């Protein structure tokens, strides 16, 4: 075992890992698993030129910057699809996200450049020489092992794809509820580690915020279905026990993405939905998404938002197709949104000819 250099960075993908748990590093003699912690240094700067730490601070990185990184898979149509290598035969690894998730890029969007590369030095280990894995350090430990009903009302934000406006819509929901004196907790159940979205919901009034990384997962892409539902259930049991409160939740990426689709098919999740918010980048995406939601999942949203909600022309096109209300998440009318989120109404989807 060798000691890490002083001053190494610890990114937010290792949110649950105490710095004092890292006692050294050992050679890479076995293939990595999701959550395994690597000690490495930046080799070349590509798409990402910074690292986010566990407080949300953004550190600029340079060739030679040393840090811990966490192995994970990433699904990001606007950036990369990356997977954990299944061998030890790698000279460099790719930085898949600013939060310090690493793997190997298998495809990328034409809108981004090649990834920043990381030169591995060794696995970070504990005092006994065991490889540290972030999943061994969970901050989410519910007191109850079974859900008690009634529970906090779940406001669920989903969308057509990444960057469709889900996080902004979830933040708007948190704000509209909190300014009307409702207790709100907020969570992101799937995706790739990044504190930006849940910190935004905290800024909007969520008294508690969390995501999958609080359970040691650097990302949720390609994990087992049982793990996906367990993440949802544990966050639910930790933060949504009071029936007087609201729990605002975001599922990452689009409704056809693997883990999001798993959750939307789950009866455990479906029976918890109080209000469903559907987000899209444009009106046609919203219209198509409504059809997929209805035909594939038998779900009808209570409101539409996202990037399209900031355009009067998109809203006009939507109004010619459906009477589901639309709210602009970037220009929040808190009284109107509060009414949508708290008024009990039967979900209907009336298509207009």
- What confidence score (pLDDT) does residue 346 get? 59
Is the CB of residue 176 less than 8 Å from the CB of residue 328? no
> What's the rounded Cα separation, in Å, for the pair 228 and 126?
28
Final residue belonging to a domain, choices 94, 111, 136: 136
Judgement on whether residues 132 and 281 belong to the same structural domain of the protein: no
Asked if the structure places residue 350 within a domain, the reply is no
Q: Is residue 193 within 8 Å of residue 99, measured between CB atoms?
A: yes
| Same domain (yes/no): 175, 79 | no
**What is the pLDDT at residue 145?**
83
Closest CA to 166 of 14, 16, 281, 11: 281
What are phi and psi for residue 145, nearest 5 degrees? -105, -10
pLDDT in tens, 310-347: 999 999 999 999 999 999 999 999 999 999 999 875 55
* Last residue within a domain, chosen from 136, 165, 188: 136
pTM, to two decimals: 0.96
* Domain termination residue (choose one: 136, 169, 196): 136
- Same domain? For 174 and 294 the reply is yes
Residues 182, 309 within the same domain? yes
- Give pLDDT tens digits for 267-292: 999 999 999 999 999 999 999 999 99
Query: For the chain, where are the E strands, in sequence order?
Result: 24-26, 37-44, 50-52, 58-60, 66-71, 74-75, 80-83, 93-95, 101-108, 117-125, 153-159, 184-188, 208-211, 246-250, 273-279, 303-305
Work out how many domains the chain is built from and give that number. 2
Query: In this structure, is residue 85 part of a structural domain?
Result: yes
Tell me, yes or no, whether 92 and 53 share the same domain: yes
In a domain, 234, yes or no: yes
251 HSE (CA, 13 A, CB side)? 30
**Residue ranges making up the domain that contains 269:** 153-342
**Once rounded to an integer, what is the mean pLDDT over residues 126-130?**
97
* DSSP assignment of 177-218: HHTTT--EEEEE-SSB--SHHHHHHHHTT-SEEEEGGGGT-S
Same domain, 166 and 272: yes
Ranges 66-75, 142-151, 223-232, 303-312: which has the least confidence: 142-151
Considering the domain boundaries, does residue 49 fall inside one? yes
- pLDDT in the model for residue 144: 85
Q: What is the pLDDT of residues 172-201, one digit of tens each?
A: 999 999 999 999 999 999 999 999 999 999
Per the rule left: phi > 0, alpha: psi between -120 and 50, beta: everything else, 312 is alpha
Residue 352 CB burial class (10 angstroms; 0-12, 13-18, ≥19): exposed
126 and 166 share a domain?
no
Q: How confident is the model at residue 353 (pLDDT cuts 50, 70, 90)?
A: very low
CATH for 159: 3.40.50.300
pLDDT of residue 352 exceeding 70: no
Quick: pLDDT tens for 62-121: 999 999 999 999 999 999 999 999 999 999 999 999 999 999 999 999 999 999 999 999
Q: Are residues 124 and 257 in the same domain?
A: no
């Amino acid at each position: 075992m060798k000691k890490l250099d002083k001053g190494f960075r610890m990114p937010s993908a290792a949110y649950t890992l105490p710095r004092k748990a890292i006692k050294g590093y050992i050679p890479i003699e076995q293939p990595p698993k999701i959550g395994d912690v690597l000690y490495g240094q930046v080799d070349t700067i590509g798409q990402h030129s910074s690292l986010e730490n566990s407080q949300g601070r953004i550190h600029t990185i340079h060739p030679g910057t040393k840090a811990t990184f966490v192995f994970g898979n990433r699904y990001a149509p606007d950036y990369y699809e990356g997977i954990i290598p299944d061998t030890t035969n790698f000279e460099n690894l790719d930085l898949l996200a600013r939060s310090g998730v690493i793997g190997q890029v298998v495809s990328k969007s034409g809108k981004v450049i090649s990834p920043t590369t990381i030169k591995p030095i060794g696995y970070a280990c504990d005092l006994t020489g065991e490889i540290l894995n972030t999943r061994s350090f969970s901050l989410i430990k519910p007191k109850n092992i079974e859900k008690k009903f009634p529970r906090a009302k779940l406001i669920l934000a989903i969308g057509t794809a990444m960057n469709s406006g889900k996080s902004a819509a979830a933040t708007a929901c948190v704000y509209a509820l909190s300014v009307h004196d409702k207790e709100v907790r907020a969570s992101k159940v799937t995706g790739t580690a990044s504190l930006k979205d849940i910190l935004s919901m905290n800024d909007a009034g969520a008294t508690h915020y969390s995501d999958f990384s609080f359970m040691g997962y650097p990302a949720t892409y390609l994990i087992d279905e049982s793990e996906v539902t367990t993440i949802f259930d544990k966050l639910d049991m930790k933060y949504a026990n009071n029936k007087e409160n609201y729990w605002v939740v975001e599922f990452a990426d689009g409704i056809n993405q693997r883990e999001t689709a798993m959750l939307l098919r789950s009866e455990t999740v479906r029976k918890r939905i109080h209000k469903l918010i559907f987000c899209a980048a444009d009106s046609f995406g919203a219209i198509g998404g409504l059809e997929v939601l209805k035909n594939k999942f038998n779900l009808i949203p209570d409101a539409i938002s996202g990037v399209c909600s900031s355009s009067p022309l998109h809203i006009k096109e939507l109004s010619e197709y459906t009477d589901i209300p639309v709210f602009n998440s970037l220009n929040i009318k808190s009284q109107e949104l509060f009414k949508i989120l708290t008024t009990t109404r039967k979900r209907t989807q009336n298509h207009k000819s």
